[in-house]
Amino acid sequence: MSLVIQRCTTCGRTLFPDRVLCPECGSAQLAHETVDVGTVTDHTRTSDGLVLLTLEVDTGLRVIGRLLGAGTVASGDVLPLVAHDDHPGPAAYVPRPDGDPAPSGSAAPADDHRLPEDPSLRAATVPGLLRARADLTPDAPLLRCGPLRRTAREMLDAVSRAGGALVERGIGRGDRVALMAANRVELLDLVLGAAWIGAVAVPINTAARGEQLHHVLTNSEARLLVVEPELLAAVDDLPPLPALRERWVLDDETSVLGAPVDAADVRAGDPAAILYTSGTTGVSKGVVCPHGQFSWWGRNVSAQLGLRSDDVLHTCLPLFHTNALNAFSQAVVAGSTYVLGGRFSASRFWSQMVESGATVTYLLGAMVSILDRRPPSPLDRAHRVRLALSPATPAALVTPFQERFGVELLDGYGSTETNAVLATRPGSQRPGYVGTVQPGFTARVVDEDGAPVPPGEPGELLVRSDQPFAFASGYFHMPEATAASWQDLWFHTGDRVVLEADGWVRFVDRIKDVIRRRGENISASEVESVLGQHPDIAAAAVYAVDSELGEDEVMAALVTEPGRVLDVDDLVAFCRPRLAGYAIPRFIRVVDDLPLTENGKVRKPALRALGTDGAWDREADRDARVASARGQGVPS
């Protein structure tokens, strides 16, 4: 057994084997070496018996690995460690169309205003991107937010001054700055200003309250909290926060611009932000996003969308969501104009698109379905929007949406922890599929034991990047969760997908969203897809509830189309030829709206907490009918 490493032949630094550039000198002249053993310098035994090892290999490289099997470990021990994949199996990899190793990034559209490729890891930072944009097109428009307009040069100055304001409040390199506010230019300035001085922004979901909010502030150890006045009460109700030194109230009179300061000497691997997951399936995890991740998001997605300098990118998604931050990176790379809008409103959405002159927008979760349910309007075609990046759009809506609104919906796959790994391109859609693997990334699909599954069979999606620092660094102060998700240089997504023989990938469901009933695994998303095809149903959420037999039962919360009344007998009859009998929901609850997180995900724990009281029960209804039939002397 051995550890495969790389060494930079220019400066001699030892590197992980997946690196394509040296983070020290930027050289691509790397050579693989094999080291037989690693020396343990530290170790931690987790609650479930997993041993996390910190090893020193030769000089300079520190590795977190796992000790498999029984035994004890102590600092100074010399142990064998395998840190590469001995048997990947060809069927495990998503094939690239040309069969060749991926280039370092996605092919970009020809545009004189697009930032040129730069191999320097200092260029792949927030300061590096902003300086490059200001140097290339200093007077070109970059940002619009309400009445505010900024050029690239003005944006650079504002970020430098926002960084200065943070320095004036005692914030320095590595300090965490928590930010709790709705979309506004000051929020964007402070996120970028923190990155400018080497601090770390922690944007917080404005809906966070109680234990969730306390966890984020405690876990991040934020020294400064910037908060809007209307959210102060939520903070005042919290237990003590030992790390917090100051609260800065961000009202309409507050200026976040101080004296300009020089940018810190940050590199692509340095943390720029900690983004907390929505916590729909447990405690929120703080995803440590390095500068390079935002740079690669900008380069990859702007190339996939074919963005140009005359595009106007409008987002109504919150800045505590990676999508809104990455849309800004896309604008910086492509030379487009970024419009930061307010919270999503279905009734005002198309009028906002008209007013902003948007050509590209971003839709998540149920937004497409909500817009499709709106009554026809002259504004449906009065806008200039040609593309919407809309992951997880129901396949049945893709064509009708484009025919009605003239907007092509582009699917894709990424996460706060990763990057634009799978994507579709304009004009090359396959409804129901999230796309193909993009240049710069590799993916595999495996079973529960980590073995590759054949094409067409579902399995967990594992991904990794050839682009330096394109993925998150881990979960902040959560080594066990980090070790569980980043294994053997692969990020384990927790998502079940199907990889077809031609390389297209279809999302099935979250592995944790699988319902186990009568010995069968039921995909909640597949049941939701069938329910959504019924003409009376506008939206559906399917989830597990406990049964009296100690297993899962299938429950559905349904939103009906306006003016429609759902006939459950008709719905069950509709499902029978489309679903296995065990997958047809036993419990059905009709609701006015599905509870959503700020980034458009259905809050299934909130639905599950309602229980089954008052819901239609298919088995109870069947038993009642049988009893009624017997009472009338009718054979059952």
- Residue 275 inside a domain? The answer is yes
Q: Are residues 486 and 592 in the same domain?
A: no
What token pair was written down for 256?
A: 């976040």
- 3-state DSSP call for residue 290? strand
Q: Are residues 345 and 442 in the same domain?
A: yes
Query: Could you tell me the strand order of the sheet in which 3-8 lies?
Result: 14-15, 3-8, 30-35
Q: Cα-atom radius of gyration of the chain, to the nearest Å?
A: 26
Q: Are residues 255 and 394 in the same domain?
A: yes
Q: Are residues 543 and 495 in the same domain?
A: no
Contact 108, 299 (CB under 8 A): yes
**E strands present in 58-207:** 61-67, 78-80, 141-145, 148-151, 176-180, 200-203
Q: C-alpha angle with apex 276: 274 to 277, nearest 5 degrees?
A: 140
pLDDT at 118: 79
Read off the amino acid at residue 334: A
- Per residue in 130-182, pLDDT (tens digit) is 999 999 999 999 999 999 999 999 999 999 999 999 999 999 999 999 999 99
Query: Could you tell me the strand order of the sheet in which 51-57 lies?
Result: 61-67, 51-57, 37-45, 78-80
What token pair was written down for 234?
A: 């939520």
Contact 578, 562 (CB under 8 A): no
Closest of 428, 498, 419 to residue 461, by C-alpha:
498
- Where does the pLDDT of residue 289 fall: very low under 50, low under 70, confident under 90, or very high at 90 and above? very high
Q: Are residues 183 and 223 in the same domain?
A: yes
Q: Are residues 71 and 134 in the same domain?
A: no
**E strands present in 204-270:** 224-227, 246-249
Cα–chain center distance at 272: 16
- Where does the pLDDT of residue 429 fall: very low under 50, low under 70, confident under 90, or very high at 90 and above? confident
- Residue 112 inside a domain? The answer is no
Pick the range with the lowest mean pLDDT from 169-173, 312-316, 543-547.
Answer: 543-547
Contact 570, 540 (CB under 8 A): no
Q: What is the mean pLDDT of residues 390-409?
A: 92
Q: C-alpha angle with apex 419: 418 to 420, nearest 5 degrees?
A: 140
- Residue 392 inside a domain? The answer is yes
What token pair was written down for 331?
A: 């604008």
- 3-state DSSP call for residue 34? strand
What token pair was written down for 56?
A: 């020193």
Q: Enumerate the β-bridge partners of residue 487.
A: 490
Here the CATH number for the domain that contains residue 552 is 3.30.300.30
**What average pLDDT does the chain have?**
84
- Per residue in 116-126, pLDDT (tens digit) is 987 777 899 99
Q: Which residue has the tokens 């599905």?
A: 594
Q: Are residues 388 and 458 in the same domain?
A: yes
Here the CATH number for the domain that contains residue 160 is 3.40.50.12780
d(CA 254, CA 162): 12
pLDDT at 1 exceeding the cut of 50: no
Domain boundary among 470, 505, 540: 505
d(CA 572, CA 554): 13
Q: Which residue has the tokens 């419990």?
A: 587
Q: Are residues 468 and 492 in the same domain?
A: yes
- Where does the pLDDT of residue 505 fall: very low under 50, low under 70, confident under 90, or very high at 90 and above? very high
Q: How many domains does the chain fold into?
A: 3
Contact 426, 385 (CB under 8 A): no
Domain boundary among 17, 50, 84: 84
Closest of 578, 425, 447 to residue 504, by C-alpha:
425
Q: Are residues 524 and 500 in the same domain?
A: no
Domain boundary among 479, 505, 531: 505
d(CA 464, CA 447): 17
Contact 65, 42 (CB under 8 A): no
pLDDT at 451: 92
Give the structural domain span for 153. 126-505
Q: Where are the alpha helices (DSSP H) in 342-406?
A: 349-356, 367-373, 395-405
CB atoms under 10 Å from CB of 180, counted, come to 25
Q: Are residues 484 and 527 in the same domain?
A: no
Read off the amino acid at residue 21: L
Read off the amino acid at residue 416: T
Q: Are residues 362 and 301 in the same domain?
A: yes
Q: For the chain, what percent of residues have pLDDT higher than 90?
A: 62
Contact 362, 327 (CB under 8 A): yes
Q: C-alpha angle with apex 524: 519 to 212, nearest 5 degrees?
A: 110
Is the pTM of the predicted complex or chain greater than 0.75? no
- Per residue in 88-109, pLDDT (tens digit) is 222 222 222 333 333 334 455 5
- Residue 95 inside a domain? The answer is no
pLDDT at 70 exceeding the cut of 50: no
Contact 496, 513 (CB under 8 A): no
Strongest mean pLDDT among 82-86, 499-503, 514-518: 499-503
pLDDT at 102: 32
- Residue 634 inside a domain? The answer is no
CB atoms under 10 Å from CB of 16, counted, come to 15
Closest of 206, 210, 143 to residue 178, by C-alpha:
206
Q: What is the mean pLDDT of residues 219-231?
A: 97
- Residue 512 inside a domain? The answer is no
- Where does the pLDDT of residue 16 fall: very low under 50, low under 70, confident under 90, or very high at 90 and above? low
| Residue 356 dihedral angles phi and psi, to the nearest 5° | -85, -15
Cα–chain center distance at 545: 27
Contact 193, 171 (CB under 8 A): no
CB atoms under 10 Å from CB of 129, counted, come to 24
Q: Enumerate the β-bridge partners of residue 552.
A: 546
Q: Is 247 exposed, middle or buried (0-12, 13-18, 19+ CB in 10 A)?
A: middle
- Residue 100 inside a domain? The answer is no
- Where does the pLDDT of residue 605 fall: very low under 50, low under 70, confident under 90, or very high at 90 and above? confident
pLDDT at 525: 80
pLDDT at 271 exceeding the cut of 70: yes
Q: Which residue has the tokens 């009460």?
A: 233
Closest of 59, 48, 46, 56 to residue 13, by C-alpha:
59
What token pair was written down for 280?
A: 């729909």
Higher pLDDT, 346 or 41: 346
| Residue 328 dihedral angles phi and psi, to the nearest 5° | -65, -40
Q: At what angle do helices 185-196 and 152-168 cross, to 10 degrees?
A: 70
- Residue 119 inside a domain? The answer is no
Q: Are residues 415 and 392 in the same domain?
A: yes
Q: What is the 3-state secondary structure (H, E, C) of 486-499?
A: EECCEEEEEEEEEE
